[in-house]
């Protein structure tokens, strides 16, 4: 019998055998050819790899804190929004794509009175 990962195969016909028990004294019988196969699960080893072993430019850029450069934000323009602090009806706004590409952008509003707020599209 040969083991590949957690899969155990018959040495006679190559058929996939029932799940291993991990007991070397246990015998697995092949449903296809009827051959007896000694359970080799204890010979199977499991390996783990460290993500640092496979460097990735995307993984290096991933962070809990997302940084947005001023150059990534679109030009500031004026919108017909009402400031909740002073009642001004025209405020500046800037938009930025902070969430996933399949989600809307975030709009940042700023009034001349100094009040700032944002909304997600």
Binding residues: 10, 13, 30, 33, 83, 86, 111, 113
Which residues define the annotated binding site for Zn(2+)?
A: 10, 13, 30, 33, 83, 86, 111, 113
**To which residue do tokens 């006679």 refer?**
12
DSSP state of 78: E
At 77, list the tokens. 């323009």
Task: Return the structure tokens found at 31.
Answer: 């449903």
Distance CA 8, CA 16 (A): 6
Nearest to 77 by CA among 108, 43, 113, 47: 108
User: For residue 114, which of 89, 96, 91, 95 has the smallest C-alpha distance?
Assistant: 91
Q: Report d(CA 81, CA 90) in Å as an integer.
A: 6
């Amino acid at each position: 019998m040969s083991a590949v990962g957690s899969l155990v195969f018959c040495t006679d016909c190559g058929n996939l055998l029932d799940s291993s028990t991990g007991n070397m004294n246990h015998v697995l019988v092949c449903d296809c050819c009827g051959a007896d196969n000694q359970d080799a699960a204890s010979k199977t080893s499991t390996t783990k790899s460290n993500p640092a072993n496979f460097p990735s430019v995307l993984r290096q850029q991933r962070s809990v804190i997302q940084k947005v450069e001023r150059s990534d934000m679109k030009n500031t323009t004026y919108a017909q929004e009402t400031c909740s602090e002073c009642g001004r009806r025209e405020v500046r706004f800037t938009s930025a794509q902070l969430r996933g590409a399949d989600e809307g952008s975030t709009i940042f509003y700023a009034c001349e009175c100094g009040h700032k707020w944002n909304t997600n599209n």
